[in-house]
Amino acid sequence: MRPPLARALLVAAALTYLAAAFQIDTPEDQYAAVGPGVFPMIIGLGLVGCAGWVAATDRTTSPLDWRGVGGAAATYLAYLALLPMAGFLPATVPFVVLQARVLGSQRWRRDLVVAALLATTVHGLLTFVLGVQLPQGLLG
C-alpha cells in the first residue's frame, strides 16, 4: 500500500509540472502551429494521468530487487562512459543486450539481433531523418 502522503506528493508534483508547462510562452515573431510548450504540456498531462492512476489504485508492491537496479545502473553508466569513445552503434548494441540480460532475458542470440536492429533503426532515424549528429567514436 502506498502512503497517502506519497500519493498526494506525486499528484502535486505532476500538477506543478503541468502548470509550469502552461507558462511557456511562444515568441511573438514565431509562426508555428506547434510551439515550444506543446511537448511539455503533453508530458505534463501524461504525468497527471499516471499520478492519478497511482493515487487511485491500492496495490501492494513486492520488495525491490536491488541487484537488478544496481546492474541496470552500472550498465547505463558504462554506456555513458563508452558512448563518446566507441560511438553510437558500437556502444548501443552491447548496452541493449546487457540491459536485456539484467532484466532476466536468457536468449542472448535474439537479444543481439534485436539490439542490432534497434540501434541501427534509431541511428538511421536520428541521423538521416532528423539530422541529429550522434557520437561516432574514435574511429570516426
47 and 102 in a single domain? The answer is no
Tell me which residue range forms the domain holding 91: 66-129
Assess if residue 137 is contained within a domain. Answer: no
What gap in Å lies between CA 73 and CA 111, rounded to an integer? 19
Say if residue 88 is exposed, middle or buried (CB neighbours under 10 Å; 0-12, 13-18, 19+).
buried
Look at the alpha carbons of 112, 116, 117, 118 in this order and tell me if their dihedral is positive or negative.
Answer: positive
Amino acid at 33: A
Banded model confidence at residue 1, pLDDT cuts 50, 70, 90: very low
Interval 23-65: pLDDT, tens: 888 777 766 667 777 888 899 899 889 888 888 887 666 777 8
Q: Indicate the number of domains in the chain.
A: 2
What gap in Å lies between CA 13 and CA 95, rounded to an integer? 32
Assess if residue 139 is contained within a domain. Answer: no
43 and 70 in a single domain? The answer is no
75 and 43 in a single domain? The answer is no
48 and 86 in a single domain? The answer is no
pTM above 0.85, yes or no: no
